[in-house]
Structure 1
Amino acid sequence: MRFIGWALSLILISTALSPVPQQVDAAGKDDYTLMVYMVGSDLESGSGFASKDLREMMKVGSTQKTNVIVETGGSNQWSEKGISNKYNQRWLVNKGKLKLLKKLENRDMGKSSTLSDFITWTVNNYPSKKYAIVFWNHGSGAVQGYGADELHNYNALRLNELRQAFETARKKTNVQFDLIGFDACLMASLEIGQLLQPYGKYLVASEELEPGHGWNYTPIVNAIAKNGAITGDRLGKVILDGFKKQSQAEETAEDITLSVVDLAKLNPVVTVFRDLVKAMSADVGKVEQVKWIAKQRYITEDYGDMGGEGSSDMADLADLAANLSARYPKQSAAVAKAIKNAVKHNLNSPGNAKAQGISIYFPAKDKKNFKRNLNIYDRYDINPTYETFLGSYINHLLKKKSGIKFNNATPRAKKEVAPAGYGSTVEVKVNQEQATSIVDVRGVLSQAVSGAKDKVRLLGIQGDHVGLDAKSGTIRGRWANAWPTLGGEYVPMKELNKQGNYVTYAIPAKLNDKDMELIVLFNQSGQSYEVLGGWHGIDAETGVADRNLTPIQPGDKLTLMYPEYDKQTSQTKMVAGKTFVVPQGLQVETKPLAKGKYAYGFYLTDYTQQSVLSDLTPIK
């Protein structure tokens, strides 16, 4: 009886704290209700990005016939006044202010029941002719899914949990969304589109990582307020245009993607992709064909792989089909055509020039987690034919234990007159069978460590001026007599990807004593570098990709971190260079190499993701 009395008291208190939402007029339904499922996480507690977006919504707010309903939670701290980290709260966004509609217990926003309850409650209390829902937070692609609740061990909604939440809400309300959007990274995939197809008309999401500022909500809310009958594709175009414009203002537009996908036209993509998979499946037992498929996947534009630990292994599906077209021309052409028909609007950028709107999970780089990720992916049971292919394909990759071996491990410099600005050609050889296994060849420039005879500091791993002759097994490269510097120090640059005239590099560093990688975009035409910001990478435990590129500000402390290679032990560890204070107008500048002891070698990766560093030969 004491327990019942205590429970009744809690119910009465909760009712007193939770204002009853205003119902729609007696005539029936409002025109439009926009739901925002806002998992604040570290994006809010660290940078206040969620509160900034709420303020963008409040510039317009709800109207008599349109509603903007937000559920907040999942963050240790909120910047916007009135939002608590102790409760989940539901808000009606009005012009200039938030109106509290309901206060809930501290719920895990990574649970399907939390999401389905939000959808069901909103539909019941704000019935409308049209609905849209936006998922605000982190995204991690087709394997790890969406969200990272900071208050509940960074729990996320995996794809099967998203499906369960939508299905539960539909059974209770029969709701159908005009638009389902992810203001999050890596969620514009075929798998996610298939999963959401029964519940919505259009998907708006990004193939690549999103900058921390995310979407601009003022034009989104304004478009609904002005036209409650706006269609999902037109609203999607408003989202895309607003995102692009804000990214230009925030100077993040060099590395963004966003697409609007017509979910009604996704079935043809699924069908023709299945045909392509069947053709690849017939070849998966043949070593040379597997090597070839792996090479085509390796050169495909992919996302969430910016030099840190781990990779989302999400690849652009149209670019993958184009790379596979030499062996599977009919199936690849059908995939490209179906994607073009399904993607209503598409935004890409210099850093992601081949992004065409729909990605696919295709394991390629995160070898350590191939098995774990495939086990998760299999449970979704979205594309059974493809899942079977991936199982056979990954087993083949993991079965190969031995990596590349050099015929002569020490590269040799040719006696020649080198072009201006470059050193002589250096060569090394592998046998032909090994050569056909190689998917990536990089040149490595190193600098001797003062006072340490057997240690060198690796300055860069780059693909420029390096090539492989697969017939002879000869690898040739030459080094530049100048090198990029930051704060007067040579930078340890690793090439991540090359798209057209643009090359993306990662520079390991500590920014204000926090480990990061500086992401730098190089314009080959203009021979200029742009520091996009600092990136934390992908969390090894949760698989969550850092959405925020941290700006580098004047006055910040910056320490470049160098891979230091010990020739005796063949081990590499990270060591700190000099720490300097970031000046106004920080720039990467190319300067001639200073006099000193340097060495050059090669870093090779085979199709099973086994890598090897050759010996390093002294150079002048």
Structure 2
Amino acid sequence: MEQNNRPRAREKRVTDNGKGVGRKGEGLGTGPVGSSDVYSREEGSGERHISKGAAIGGGGGFLAVIIAILFSLFGGGGGAGGGAGAGSAGSNQGDNLQMGNGQSAVSTDNGVGNTTDSGHKLDTTVAPGSREKRTKILGENNDKITFMVYMCGTDLESKYGMSTADLNEMASADFGDNINIIVYTGGCNKWKTNGISSKVNQIFQVKKGSMTCLVDDDGNKAMTDPDTLSHFIKWCAENYPANRYELIMWDHGGGSVSGYGYDEKNQKSGSMTLSGINKALKDGGVTFDMIGFDACLMATAETALMLDPYADYLIASEETEPGIGWFYTNWLTKLGANTSMPTIELGKLIIDDYTSACAKSCRGQATTLSLIDLAEFAHTVPTEIGSFSKSVSSLITAKEYKKVSDARNGTREFATQSRIDQVDLVDLANKMDTAEGKKLADTIKGAVKYNRTSLNMVNAHGVSIYFPYQRTSYVDKACSNYSAIGMNDEYSKCIRQFASLETSGQIQAGGSTNAAASLFNMLGGGSGGGGDAISQLIGSFLGGGRSNIIDDLDENNTAFMDESGISTDDAADYISNNYFNPDNLKWNDDGKVAKISLPDDQWDLVHTIELNMFYDDGQGYLDLGLDNIYTFDDDGAMVAETDRTWISIDGQPVAYYHLSTVEDGDKYTITGRVPALLNGERINLILVFDNDNPYGFVAGYQQDYKNGETDTVAKIESELKEGDKLTFICDYYTYDGKYQDTYPIGDITVSSNMQISNTDVGEGKVKLAYLFTDIYNQKYWTPTIDR
């Protein structure tokens, strides 16, 4: 790794207000909080970022939204409080549920300084040869529009009132009689709006400050069952016919592999995969003007190609959404004044309102939303994806896997904590640096008619795609989905080949490793560089020795290796000439300064470097996580940080895990997470460090899901309330090398000016190790340094 290409290290500020670290009380018994790349744990992949509070009182007045936004703007934190009687059995058909009235507290000034259109203006052109739009707009304000809002409330509503806030926004709009907003509710244990049932699914109409119940009891069907969605679509088309139909799917999102939705009441139903959505739309029998996802991570190439038979446009987010979600009032009102508004102009309004609202109330949170012309996308992109895939496959078979891996590692990635392996397709195509990649990038930019992001989301161009790297256990599932939705076969071949070589590289190195290997001197060196030995290891893996070698992989999800077309001998030959040798990870330590020097060809195989600190409390070790802190001397040796300080919030050391570093010239954004309990509930705080805030700030928090509760990703909550209690937690190892439990290590009271700094961890001894990650995403810990 050339010195000027090394990823940026976090800039630390050392203060003397440290409270020290140590176990407080009993173990939590909730399982490890350590990096999912490192520890054996099933980690929920998420849902939406959260920043809406629950509604206040009765039906959740619109005042709740105003208070939530004002508090977030002026540092008060607190979200709006919850409605009293959420979750009644349901109102009688025709009853009105009074919603909030009043004007929006969010300005929709498109010139807000915290967002960018990524250089992409509204594009009204269409590539020649693209199909005609299926929806015919009548004009002269004569169009009748039916919005079908499929609202699976889930824990986003039961805990944070996000559905209620969005329903308030819809009800506060003035849109007349030519627009019908029909909402299907379900999937939630406790609604914050009185009259919405927590026992059964229901159908409502939202209008003029109220909600009218149209179907009081539609059973308790899982919201992630395609039949539930298709039933709702058919019901709306029959009862509220229109010449323009719009579908908005509201909930968690998982993107290319996991699809849409998490039903809190029917957790075993899983998510609705893209093939499931395809079935629902096909059975629903309606052609839509627009399909939008007020959910995370659904702006993918796979989603767009699947939706083409059913809609003209897609509006969705590449990244995890802030909890504020779409802001409905302004654009609905403007559409009501002109129901003949062109769809691309409506899409621009939706995106502008969303990104402007997020910029004002979700400081530091990543924000993306794009408008994709499905007709143009389906006409132009598949051929270019096929050509691009062939060019990448050619690189891999021409023994240039490293070039592909470097490009994938450097590409803008989304929901990094969840390891769903979704990356921006334009960025990936450009970084591959092939003629086919450049052409694909230009083609996608043409199909994305409008795209806006927050300033910290460089290289997010509006469409993502699944490309494995963080874990390969989803490859078989992804390729199966591709077959169901008609995705290009060449792309499946490409990712199978990449995943096969990556996995082979991990097999050579000895498979899964963790921090305990360094802590308890159990470091291994893999097979070494011999091609025959590597071939035997890979052969053994393919022959049935797959269990417990690489986390998440077994005989049920490794068909991609057999189907990749890369022979064991070819893989072994490449790896023998391109492998990281952990024997080089030796410290030159004089007791004051510790350094590691690597040959240039070995540095070139390193993708990331992170510092791991263990605190000895006299009975075992507290694992304080992974921080991207390091320096290099003039000779190119890495110098360890040995000052015994660790990242702290208000002087309290915390377990911190670096998630991503994104650089664009001199600008950078570093993101990490801190496991904690918020008023007793397990979360991850999100910390952000950037040019304007080099010492960081708390950008929000995200629900922490356990035991495979959901494979989708949740929104990020930004509203920590002043006076709330944050209890920081971390993993603990006994001296005999066993993970014992996760313990509280200190707490603070939430305030509007929480300070992030490095402080001394206390009187106990510490052990320091660095984690190196190579081009195969294999982890190597250095021996520990005692201080």
Give the TM interval when normalised to the shorter protein. Answer: 0.7 to 0.9
CA distance in 1 between counterparts of 2:185 and 2:761 reads 55
CA distance in 2 between counterparts of 1:424 and 1:581 reads 34
Amino acid paired to 1:501: Y
Q: Tell me which residue corresponds to 1:282.
A: 394
Q: Tell me which residue corresponds to 1:75.
A: 188
Q: What do the CA deviations read for 1:1-49 (whole angstroms, capped 9, x no partner)?
A: xxxxxxxxxxxxxxx96569xxxxxxxx852222211111111122221
CA distance in 1 between counterparts of 2:338 and 2:734 reads 65
**Counterpart contact for 2:322–2:365, Cα < 8 Å:** no
How far is the alpha carbon of 1:314 from its aligned partner?
Answer: 0.6
| 1:319 equivalenced with 2:427 (yes/no) | yes
Q: Tell me which residue corresponds to 1:514.
A: 681
CA distance in 2 between counterparts of 1:610 and 1:591 reads 29
**Counterpart contact for 1:62–1:92, Cα < 8 Å:** no
Aligned with residue 158 of structure 1, among 253, 259, 273: 273
Q: What do the CA deviations read for 1:301-328 (whole angstroms, capped 9, x no partner)?
A: 111222xxx4221101111112211xx2
Q: Tell me which residue corresponds to 2:587.
A: 411
CA distance in 2 between counterparts of 1:224 and 1:90 reads 23
CA distance in 2 between counterparts of 1:380 and 1:614 reads 45
How far is the alpha carbon of 1:253 from its aligned partner?
Answer: 5.5
How far is the alpha carbon of 1:158 from its aligned partner?
Answer: 1.1
Q: In structure 2, list runs of 5 or more residues that go unmatched.
A: 1-90, 96-141, 510-579
Q: Tell me which residue corresponds to 2:213.
A: 100
Amino acid paired to 1:495: H
The verdict on how the C-alpha distance between 1:37 and 1:176 changes in structure 2, with shifts beyond 3 A counting, is same
| 1:210 equivalenced with 2:315 (yes/no) | no
The verdict on how the C-alpha distance between 1:526 and 1:62 changes in structure 2, with shifts beyond 3 A counting, is closer
Q: Tell me which residue corresponds to 1:244.
A: 355
Q: What do the CA deviations read for 1:174-196 (whole angstroms, capped 9, x no partner)?
A: x4322110000000001101111
Q: Which moved more, 1:376-385 or 1:195-204?
A: 376-385
Aligned with residue 268 of structure 1, among 380, 395, 407: 380
- Aligned pairs for 1:492-571 (under 5 A) are 492-499=655-662, 500-537=667-704, 540-549=708-717, 551-564=719-732, 569=737
CA distance in 2 between counterparts of 1:96 and 1:137 reads 23
CA distance in 1 between counterparts of 2:498 and 2:633 reads 25
How far is the alpha carbon of 1:368 from its aligned partner?
Answer: 4.6
How far is the alpha carbon of 1:605 from its aligned partner?
Answer: 1.8
Q: What do the CA deviations read for 1:103-144 (whole angstroms, capped 9, x no partner)?
A: 322222212222122222212222222221111111101111
| 1:131 equivalenced with 2:245 (yes/no) | yes
Q: Tell me which residue corresponds to 2:411.
A: 300
Q: Tell me which residue corresponds to 2:776.
A: 608
| 1:364 equivalenced with 2:475 (yes/no) | no
Amino acid paired to 2:486: D
Q: Secondary structure at the match of 1:484?
A: strand
How far is the alpha carbon of 1:546 from its aligned partner?
Answer: 2.1
CA distance in 2 between counterparts of 1:188 and 1:498 reads 22
How far is the alpha carbon of 1:258 from its aligned partner?
Answer: 0.9
Q: Tell me which residue corresponds to 2:756.
A: 589
**Counterpart contact for 2:355–2:454, Cα < 8 Å:** no
- Aligned pairs for 1:74-473 (under 5 A) are 74-103=187-216, 104-153=218-267, 154-170=269-285, 175-252=286-363, 254-266=365-377, 267-286=379-398, 288-306=399-417, 310-325=418-433, 328=434, 330-400=435-505, 401-403=507-509, 405-413=581-589, 424=593, 426-429=595-598, 432=601, 437-444=605-612, 446=613, 448-452=615-619, 455-465=620-630
CA distance in 1 between counterparts of 2:247 and 2:364 reads 25
CA distance in 2 between counterparts of 1:565 and 1:198 reads 54
Q: Tell me which residue corresponds to 1:60.
A: 173
Amino acid paired to 1:239: I
Q: Tell me which residue corresponds to 1:11.
A: none
**Counterpart contact for 2:653–2:761, Cα < 8 Å:** no
**Counterpart contact for 1:210–1:547, Cα < 8 Å:** yes
How far is the alpha carbon of 1:81 from its aligned partner?
Answer: 2.0
Aligned residues: 571
The verdict on how the C-alpha distance between 1:430 and 1:202 changes in structure 2, with shifts beyond 3 A counting, is same
**Counterpart contact for 2:385–2:488, Cα < 8 Å:** no
Q: What do the CA deviations read for 1:474-511 (whole angstroms, capped 9, x no partner)?
A: 86244275643213222332221122322111122222
**Counterpart contact for 1:410–1:616, Cα < 8 Å:** no
Over the aligned positions, Cα root-mean-square deviation in angstroms equals 3.1
**Counterpart contact for 1:351–1:503, Cα < 8 Å:** no
Q: Tell me which residue corresponds to 1:5.
A: none
Q: Secondary structure at the match of 2:403?
A: helix
**Counterpart contact for 2:183–2:205, Cα < 8 Å:** yes
Q: What do the CA deviations read for 1:150-190 (whole angstroms, capped 9, x no partner)?
A: 222253221112112222223xxxx4322110000000001
**Counterpart contact for 1:407–1:431, Cα < 8 Å:** no
Amino acid paired to 2:638: R
Q: Tell me which residue corresponds to 1:479.
A: 641
Q: Which moved more, 1:406-415 or 1:83-92?
A: 406-415
**Counterpart contact for 1:448–1:456, Cα < 8 Å:** yes
**Counterpart contact for 1:537–1:545, Cα < 8 Å:** no
TM-score by length of structure 2 reads 0.67
**Counterpart contact for 2:364–2:456, Cα < 8 Å:** no
Q: Tell me which residue corresponds to 1:8.
A: none
How far is the alpha carbon of 1:447 from its aligned partner?
Answer: 5.1
CA distance in 1 between counterparts of 2:187 and 2:326 reads 19
**Counterpart contact for 1:316–1:355, Cα < 8 Å:** yes
Amino acid paired to 1:590: S
**Counterpart contact for 2:275–2:481, Cα < 8 Å:** no
Amino acid paired to 2:660: N
TM-score by length of structure 1 reads 0.84
The verdict on how the C-alpha distance between 1:251 and 1:550 changes in structure 2, with shifts beyond 3 A counting, is closer
How far is the alpha carbon of 1:63 from its aligned partner?
Answer: 1.9
**Counterpart contact for 1:409–1:614, Cα < 8 Å:** yes
Q: Secondary structure at the match of 2:582?
A: coil
The verdict on how the C-alpha distance between 1:262 and 1:379 changes in structure 2, with shifts beyond 3 A counting, is closer
CA distance in 2 between counterparts of 1:615 and 1:256 reads 39
CA distance in 2 between counterparts of 1:298 and 1:206 reads 21
Amino acid paired to 1:74: G
Amino acid paired to 1:198: P
* Identity percentage of aligned residues: 28
The verdict on how the C-alpha distance between 1:165 and 1:372 changes in structure 2, with shifts beyond 3 A counting, is closer
The verdict on how the C-alpha distance between 1:304 and 1:538 changes in structure 2, with shifts beyond 3 A counting, is farther
How far is the alpha carbon of 1:261 from its aligned partner?
Answer: 1.3
The verdict on how the C-alpha distance between 1:372 and 1:538 changes in structure 2, with shifts beyond 3 A counting, is farther
**Counterpart contact for 1:414–1:427, Cα < 8 Å:** no
Q: Secondary structure at the match of 2:659?
A: strand
Amino acid paired to 1:144: S
How far is the alpha carbon of 1:62 from its aligned partner?
Answer: 5.1
Q: In structure 1, list runs of 5 or more residues that go unmatched.
A: 1-15, 21-28, 416-422
CA distance in 2 between counterparts of 1:301 and 1:289 reads 21
The verdict on how the C-alpha distance between 1:459 and 1:589 changes in structure 2, with shifts beyond 3 A counting, is same
CA distance in 2 between counterparts of 1:198 and 1:185 reads 22
CA distance in 2 between counterparts of 1:209 and 1:589 reads 24
CA distance in 2 between counterparts of 1:466 and 1:195 reads 47
